[in-house]
A and B are shown apart, each in its own frame.
Chain A
Amino acid sequence: MGRDLMLVAGSGRSGTSLFASIVGNLGFYVPRPQVQSDDTNPRGFGEPQWVVDKHSELLRQANVQASDARPSAWADTAKLCLDERAGNEIRTWLEEQFTGHDQVVIKDPRLLWFLPLWSRAGEELGADVSVVTMLRHPAEVVRSKSYWYSNMPLTESNRLAGWVNTMLFTERATRGHRRIFVRFEDLLEDWTQQVARVSAQLDIPSLVNARARQQAAADSLVDRSLHRSKAGWGDLDVPGELMHLAERVWEELLKLSEDALYGDSGDHLDRLREEYISYYRYAEQVAQSSILAENRKFRRSRRSSTSARPSVRPADPMILKVRRFVPPEIRDRIPLRVKRAVAELLR
Chain B
Amino acid sequence: MRGEEWENREGIEEYNIHWNWVTEPSTSGFTAVLRVKNEARSLPFVLPGVLRSTERVILVDNLSTDGTPQLARKIATEEGLEEKLEVLSYPFEVSRCGPEHLATYPDSVHSLTYFYNWSFSHVRTRYALKWDGDMVLTPQGEQVLQDLAWQLEGVDGTVKIRRSPVYVESERVAYLDLSHAPGELWGWCNTFDHTFIKGFDWEIIKPWSDRLLQLPDWMCFELKWLDQDQFSHWSHADFQADRHHRKKREWELFHSLQRDAALPEGVVRVESPGNVHVIGHLRNSYVTLRRDKSFAPATGAIDLPAETIPVDGESSEPEPQEEALPQFKSNGGTNNG
Q: How far is the CA of A116 from the CA of B327 in the complex (A)?
A: 24
Report A-chain residues with C-beta under 8 Å of the C-beta of B318.
Answer: 315
A256-296 interface with B by 8 A CB criterion: 270-271, 273-274, 277-278, 280-281
B310-325 interface with A by 8 A CB criterion: 311-314, 316-319, 321-322, 325
Measured CB to CB, the nearest residue on chain A to B144 is: A82
Contact of A82 among B26, B216, B321 (CB under 8 A): B216
Tell me if A342 counts as interface (CB < 8 A to partner B). no
Q: Are B27 and A273 in contact (CB under 8 A)?
A: yes
Chain A 52-65 interface mask (CB, 8 Å, partner B; 1/0):
10001000110101
Q: How far is the CA of A273 from the CA of B150 in the complex (A)?
A: 10
Report B-chain residues with C-beta under 8 Å of the C-beta of A45.
Answer: 332-334
> A63 and B334 in contact (CB under 8 A), knowing A81-B147, A176-B146, A270-B27?
no
The smallest C-beta distance from B83 to any residue of chain A, in angstroms, reads 16
Tell me if B151 counts as interface (CB < 8 A to partner A). yes
Tell me if A25 counts as interface (CB < 8 A to partner B). no
Report B-chain residues with C-beta under 8 Å of the C-beta of A329.
Answer: 293, 312
Q: Are A151 and B331 in contact (CB under 8 A)?
A: yes
Measured CB to CB, the nearest residue on chain A to B327 is: A60
* Size category of the binding interface on chain A: 35 or more
Chain A 80-105 interface mask (CB, 8 Å, partner B; 1/0):
01101000000000000000000000
Report B-chain residues with C-beta under 8 Å of the C-beta of A324.
Answer: 311, 314
Q: Are A40 and B155 in contact (CB under 8 A)?
A: no
The smallest C-beta distance from A166 to any residue of chain B, in angstroms, reads 9
Contact of A277 among B148, B154, B215 (CB under 8 A): B154
Measured CB to CB, the nearest residue on chain A to B28 is: A270
Q: Are A74 and B25 in contact (CB under 8 A)?
A: no
The tally of CB-CB contacts under 8 A between chains A and B is: 143
Q: Are B325 and A60 in contact (CB under 8 A)?
A: yes
> A162 and B152 in contact (CB under 8 A), knowing A270-B27, A315-B318?
no
Tell me if B153 counts as interface (CB < 8 A to partner A). yes
Tell me if A152 counts as interface (CB < 8 A to partner B). yes
Report A-chain residues with C-beta under 8 Å of the C-beta of B144.
Answer: 82, 116
Tell me if A149 counts as interface (CB < 8 A to partner B). yes
Q: Are B334 and A273 in contact (CB under 8 A)?
A: no
Report B-chain residues with C-beta under 8 Å of the C-beta of A82.
Answer: 144, 213, 215-216
B126-152 interface with A by 8 A CB criterion: 140, 143-144, 146-148, 150-152
Q: Are B140 and A162 in contact (CB under 8 A)?
A: no
Q: Are B154 and A71 in contact (CB under 8 A)?
A: yes
Tell me if B336 counts as interface (CB < 8 A to partner A). yes
Measured CB to CB, the nearest residue on chain A to B293 is: A329
Report B-chain residues with C-beta under 8 Å of the C-beta of A299.
Answer: none
Measured CB to CB, the nearest residue on chain B to A91 is: B291
Contact of A110 among B152, B311, B331, B336 (CB under 8 A): B336
A18-72 interface with B by 8 A CB criterion: 35-36, 38, 40-41, 45, 47, 49, 52, 56, 60-61, 63, 65-67, 70-72
Tell me if A145 counts as interface (CB < 8 A to partner B). yes
A134-156 interface with B by 8 A CB criterion: 145, 149, 151-152, 154
Q: How far is the CA of A65 from the CA of B331 in the complex (A)?
A: 15
Chain B 22-61 interface mask (CB, 8 Å, partner A; 1/0):
0011110000000000000000000000000000000000
| Contacts A67-B336, A172-B150 known; 19 new A-B pairs at CB < 8 A | A40-B334, A45-B332, A47-B334, A66-B328, A70-B154, A75-B155, A75-B157, A78-B147, A78-B148, A79-B213, A81-B147, A81-B151, A82-B216, A116-B143, A149-B335, A273-B25, A274-B26, A274-B27, A328-B311
Which residues of B are at the interface with A, using a C-beta cutoff of 8 A?
24-27, 140, 143-144, 146-148, 150-155, 157, 211, 213, 215-216, 287, 291, 293, 311-314, 316-319, 321-322, 325-337
25 pairs from A and B in contact (CB 8 Å cutoff): A11-B336, A12-B334, A52-B333, A65-B328, A66-B335, A71-B155, A72-B154, A72-B155, A72-B211, A74-B153, A74-B154, A75-B155, A81-B151, A82-B213, A84-B291, A116-B143, A145-B337, A154-B337, A172-B150, A176-B146, A273-B25, A324-B314, A327-B312, A328-B314, A329-B293
